[in-house]
Structure 1
Amino acid sequence: MHSLLSQWQPRLRALATAGLGEDSAHDINHLQRVWRNARVLLQEHAQADALTVMAACYLHDLVNLPKNHPERHLASRQAAVLACRQLAEQDFPAEKLAGVAHAIETHSFSADLRPTTIEAQIVQDADRIDALGAVGLARLFYTAARMDSALAHGTDPLAQHRALNDKAYALDHIVTKLDKLPGKMQTAAGRALAEQRLAVLTDFRAAFAGEWGVSRVLN
């Protein structure tokens, strides 16, 4: 299997790179981090097909619509169709295409589809882990800037006296979505890693709110 992965990895990278847009939160570095996360999860699931997982990790963002796009929830299905077509043209093992498609379709939070194979569960966890921790924090604010969101609410950054709104305030996204990810993990290893990385975000949120308040007093 290792030789097969080594054979396919550069080809998958090439396919992924050719389809990438200008979104640095979903660039080749993101895809490689997702595959790295997946390799960690594969260690506790030896029965999973690593080639299927690797292909889905590299190709899951072939169609990547902005988070505020009205068809965002359809992007993963479109990516699955495109990935299978491109893989078939590259003579990827035909018996693995359905598994790759399912893993790509179900990785998306927006699509809200349940992964039913261990390969798809690993890919979903691996992708969501990259939304947490220090890198996840950087991706959060990068994406918020692309959507013209404010850093935080001017007088109530922790939403103690208002409704959360992560479309308007980047900091709200930690509570509206990201702190729920560990509980949605499909694998035990994914849950443990997600909980470790979530601590980075919760500590940052508290520190941010403290500094935000200080800055307002000083000004």
Structure 2
Amino acid sequence: MNTKLAARINDQQQSVIVAVQSYVAQKLAHDFSGHDIAHIERVVSLAQTILINESNADAFIVILSAYLHDVIDEKVVADVNQAVSELRDYLFSLNLTQTQINQIFDIIENMSYRKNLSSVKKLSLEGQIVQDADRLDAIGAIGIGRTFYYGGNRHNIMHNPAISPRTQLNEDNYKQPNTVINHFYEKLFLLKDMLNTSTAKQLAKQRHEFMLQFVNQFEKEWRGEA
């Protein structure tokens, strides 16, 4: 952790972060959808990078939310309500205040792409940072790998030129199966212009260009072009 950033986290908070890190690693130990602890650690790292330039943000809330953002996600857990209840109890056991717990849940329950399709949720600065970090890990080389990994996990086909990308998405039809390549057009290519912080916008540029080049090359090779 950056020295200036570490100064914004006291010893008690650091102990809580270590405990939460272990909790999340256990909860996601058997994930094979691209939402495993490796993804979480990357999101935490990206959130810390953004935090350096966001001095008004509560670093403790950002880091905890970055660690916890997938442990109640329906893509990951079988029973969302149970996962929410377990997480609330766990955070209370760590002596977090009700305000802190509410801040965390406001972030992790409202930051996802799907939750913002019908109407954009108003996130706190801390929520915007975590959302940006999560979206950065959805694009670039890692984003490409995760997209195909998740598509295979859900038994989605890679590509079918006869199936056009959807232009009108909502919370319900977003969950319906589609091709892996269409996911780039329906979501990943759009993320660069949906980021909140200047740091994330800068980091997204190269990742976005890399995805464009990849999909262009993929489609050429799919058509059998040299």
| Residue number in structure 1 paired with 2:25 | 17
Q: Are residue 129 (structure 1) and residue 148 (structure 2) matched?
A: no
User: What CA distance in whole angstroms lies between the structure 1 residues aligned with 2:110 and 2:199?
Assistant: 19
CA RMSD of aligned residues (A): 2.6
Paired residue type of 1:53: V
Residue 149 (str. 1) matches residue 156 (str. 2): yes
Task: Return 5+ residue gaps in structure 2 as ranges.
Answer: 1-7, 167-175
Is contact 2:147-2:180 (8 Å) kept?
A: yes
| TM-aligned CA deviation for residue 36 of structure 1 | 0.5
Deviation at 1:94, TM superposition (A): 4.1
Q: Distance in 1 between matches of 2:125 and 2:83?
A: 20
TM-score, length-scaled by structure 1: 0.83
Partner in structure 2 of residue 198 of structure 1:
208
Stretch moving more, 164-173 or 140-149: 164-173
Kept after mapping to 1: 8 A contact 2:16/2:94: no
**Pair 1:118 & 2:122 matched:** no
State which of 39, 48, 56 in structure 2 corresponds to 1:39. Answer: 48
| 2:68 partner amino acid | L
Counting only pairs closer than 5 Å after superposition, residues 205-216 of structure 1 correspond to structure 2 as: 205-214=215-224
* Residue number in structure 1 paired with 2:92: 88
In structure 2, do the counterparts of structure 1 residues 58 and 182 end up closer, same or farther at CA, with 3 Å as the change threshold? same
Structure 1 pair 18/168, CA: closer, same or farther in 2 (3 Å)?
A: same
CA distance in 1, matches of 2:47, 2:183: 24
Who is 1:140 aligned against? 147
CA contact (8 A) 1:61 1:79 kept: no
- For the 8 Å contact 1:149–1:167, the answer to whether it is kept is yes
Whether the aligned pair in 2 keeps the contact of 1:80 and 1:104 (CA below 8 Å) is no
**1:109 aligns to 2:116 (yes or no):** no
Map of 1:60 onto structure 2: 69
CA contact under 8 A between 2:33 and 2:153: conserved in structure 1?
Answer: no
TM-score (norm 2): 0.80
Of residues 46-55 and 106-115 in structure 1, the stretch that sits farther from structure 2 once superposed is 106-115
User: Which amino acid in 2 is paired with 1:140?
Assistant: T
Q: What amino acid does structure 2 have at the position aligned with 1:101?
A: F
Q: Matched residues in 1 for 2:122 and 2:39: separation?
A: 21
Distance 1:143 1:41 in 2: 26
Between the aligned partners of 2:70 and 2:123, the Cα distance in structure 1 is: 20
Deviation at 1:163, TM superposition (A): 2.1
1:137-179 deviation digits (Å, cap 9, x = unpaired): 10000011011111111xx3xx7xx522693321111111111
Report if aligned partners of 1:53, 1:123 keep a CA contact under 8 Å in 2. Answer: yes
| Deviation of 1:114 (Å) | 1.3
Percent identity between matched residues is 27
Q: Which structure has more RCO (C-alpha within 8 Å, separation ≥ 6)? A: 2
| 8 Å contact kept, 1:80–1:100 | no
